[in-house]
Structure formats: structure tokens, C-alpha cells
Amino acid sequence: MRLWELANVFFLEGLFGFGGPAAHLSMMEEDTVRKRQWLTQEQFLDTLAASNLIPGPTSTEMAIHIGYIYAGIPGLIVAGISFILPASLVTLGFAWLYSQIGTVPAVARLFAGIGPVVVVIIADACWRLAKKSITNLQLALIFLLVIASVLLGLSEIAALILGGILAIVLLPKAQMQSLLIGIALVNSTSKLVLIKPTLIQLGLFFLKIGSILFGGGYVLFAFLQEGMVNQNHWLSQQQLVDAIAIGQFTPGPILSSATFIGYLIAGLPGALVATLAIFLPSFVFVLISNPLIAKMRKSKLTSFFLDGVRAASIALIAVVVLRIGYNALSNNWVNVFLTMLSAIMLFGYRVKTMWLIVLALVAGYFLEQP
């Protein structure tokens, strides 16, 4: 009975969970604390803190944690799968449709306006996360240093570690000596021949991301930009932008974009491998960390390191904004106009991202030259 209750609650949350992690967490608190009393308010907050201390998507890990608290290891599995499955299936449907008709000129025109809107959406997420996480000059310094380092060639994994180490060094001292930053945009807009990876390569790539992904789903796109677009050429820049748009348009965790990308690269087997690989670490981390929640919250060293990793994660999101924006806006007045309009609608009137994506599709169709 408990497993069925978990499956029912989290499947519906995954199916109707529009609005990103904040909306997901609000739904979970309402369904599992207020309505059903599966855990107390204090337990919910402690579990949320633990989810922020480990890599992976916070809302997905909260579902897995709650399943574990309510029904043990079987509950952990059922709750996690139930929350992930609806978004993955919806995204898979979009991936199939995209691969079937995406090459038709009229459909290609639809996606022409996606880039500028995606830039604004990610910039908004970056700003909201930065306001909550970058709360002093030391963290701001780490944020800027990581942006500069990544733009100058440092890998995303190294950037996260750098952020954590710098925080351990800087945060206890509560002072900042000097700031010297140099930023260079290194990007290529030339067309590249895409290379198709093996399923093992694809799986290992997403498994690595799922194992080190601090800072929420948007950091995923920083790893995809560098690993799939810039280094390995498994994905084009336009495909990445479209994948981000689909992730915004569908319910559930943003990491279901992995399903979309896996399908584009290697069909149904690729979608299955990418989805399993990126979410599997979350199940393992929750299983290990749940009994250690109290100790993890009391550790000053863990707290400092986490603050630095969060700042570095937000910096990676900012790099995605810079790179996609550079490609989308260069010498294109239509995209500049769409960016300004989207920014006004989102920052000024808080229009939902789903409607911004619709705006981008319509604008792209009518404003792009056939």
C-alpha cells in the first residue's frame, strides 16, 4: 500500500510539475507534509539541506529521500522512478517528433527564435540562484574567478573543485585582498561534422555528470556545452539550445533533457542509456547520505566547501549564458529584439517560461527568413 501511495503521489507530481525545482519542492511539501504527514516539517527541511549537500537534481533527490523515509529502499526506488518517468516519457515523445520533422524547413524556422529566449531564461535562473547563494564578497570573488577560469579553458569538474577549495580558504577569513579578472570569449560559430558516440561513451558521459552535478539542472547545460558541443562534437549548438527549450517546456526535472539528447544521438537505446546514467547516482547518493543527514549539517568544513561549489555552479550557468548569447545575438537584430522582449516579459512581468518558449516558436517562424 505504501509503495502504491508513493507511486501515485510522485507520478502525478512528475507529470504536472511545471515551474522548475522550486515548484516541485512546494508540491512535495504540500503533498507529503501537510496532507499526508509522511514526515514532519523539520524532517522535510533537514532532508532538503541534505539534498543540497550532494550532487544531483535537488527535487529528484527529495522525492528519493521521502520515498526512503516512508518505505525504505523499495520506497526510494519507487518514488524516484515515479517522479522521473513522466518527464522522461514526455521528453522522449518530443525527441521523436523533433527528429522526424526537425529537418523540414518550416519546422526549422520555428526553432530559429529559441536561442535568444533560452539565454534570458537561463540568465533569470542564474540571477535568482546568485541572489540566494552569493551572499558575500568572498563568494562573489569565487564566482568571478570560476567564470574567468572556464572561459580561459578550465574544465567544469576542475572549476567545481576550485570553487570548493577557494571557499575553504577564503570564507573563514572574511576578507578579500584584491580582484583581478580577465575574460575572453572563446567560441566558434563554424559548422562542424557531428560524431556519433557509442552507447558506452554516452552512458559514461551522463554518469559522470550525474555524479558531480552541484547547483541544479541548469549546470547540466554547461557540461553539455563543453563536452558534447565543443570537445566531442556529438551535438550541434542549435540542438543544445533546442534541448534546453524542450527541458523548459516539459514537466518534471530539467535533467530529463538527457532523454531528449540521448534520443537525438542514438535513438531509443541512447535515450534509455542517457536517462538511466544521469539519474542513477542520485539514488546511490541518497541511500548513502540519508542516515548521515544530522552529521552533514553540523560540519563547518562541508558547509564552506558546499558554499564554494554552489558559487562555482552558478558561475558555470553564467558561462552558458555568455556562450549561447554570443552565438545567438551576433549580428542578428531579430534575435536582439527577441532577447529584449523576452527579458521584459520575464523580469518585468514574470511571464511563465513555457509561454516564452511559445513566443520564441511563433516569432521564429514569422521573423526568420524562409
- Does residue 178 form part of some domain? yes
User: For residue 244, what is its C-alpha cell?
Assistant: 534546453
User: For residue 262, what is its C-alpha cell?
Assistant: 540521448
- Does residue 52 form part of some domain? no
Q: How confident is the model at residue 184 (pLDDT cuts 50, 70, 90)?
A: very low
Q: Where are the alpha helices (DSSP H) in 171-212?
A: 199-212
DSSP secondary-structure letter at 250? S
Cα→Cα distances 39→12, 55, 187, 265, Å = 19, 23, 48, 41
- Does residue 63 form part of some domain? no
- Does residue 13 form part of some domain? no
pLDDT, tens digit, 9 for 90 and up, residues 128-157: 778 877 888 888 999 999 999 988 888 877
- Does residue 53 form part of some domain? no
pLDDT, tens digit, 9 for 90 and up, residues 207-264: 999 998 876 667 788 888 889 998 899 998 888 888 887 877 777 788 889 999 999 9
- Can you tell me which residue has the cell 584584491? 178
Q: CA neighbours within 13 Å on the CB side: how many for 46?
A: 17
- Does residue 135 form part of some domain? yes
Residues 6+ apart with CB under 8 A from 24: 13, 17, 59, 62, 252, 253
pLDDT, tens digit, 9 for 90 and up, residues 154-180: 887 788 788 888 988 887 754 333 333
pLDDT for the residue 82 = 96
Q: How confident is the model at residue 305 (pLDDT cuts 50, 70, 90)?
A: confident
CA-nearest of 345, 349, 332 to 115 is: 332
DSSP string for 259-315: HHHHHHHHHHHHHHHHHHHHHHHHHHHHHHHGGGHHHHHH-HHHHHHHHHHHHHHHH
User: For residue 71, what is its C-alpha cell?
Assistant: 518505505
- Does residue 209 form part of some domain? yes
Q: How confident is the model at residue 103 (pLDDT cuts 50, 70, 90)?
A: low
Helix (H, G, I), strand (E, B), or coil: what is residue 264? helix
Q: Exposed, middle or buried, 153 (CB in 10 Å: 0-12/13-18/19+)?
A: exposed
Q: What percent of the chain has pLDDT over 70?
A: 85
- Does residue 103 form part of some domain? no
* Phi and psi at residue 122, to the nearest 5°: -70, -35
- Can you tell me which residue has the cell 567544469? 156
As a whole number of angstroms, the distance between CA 167 and CA 173 comes to: 10
User: For residue 250, what is its C-alpha cell?
Assistant: 516539459
pLDDT for the residue 368 = 59
Structural domain harbouring 222: 111-367
- The more confidently predicted of residues 260 and 114 is 260
As a whole number of angstroms, the distance between CA 228 and CA 223 comes to: 8
Please count the structural domains in the chain: 1
Q: How confident is the model at residue 185 (pLDDT cuts 50, 70, 90)?
A: very low
Helix (H, G, I), strand (E, B), or coil: what is residue 299? coil
pLDDT, tens digit, 9 for 90 and up, residues 31-72: 999 899 999 887 887 787 678 777 888 889 999 999 999 999
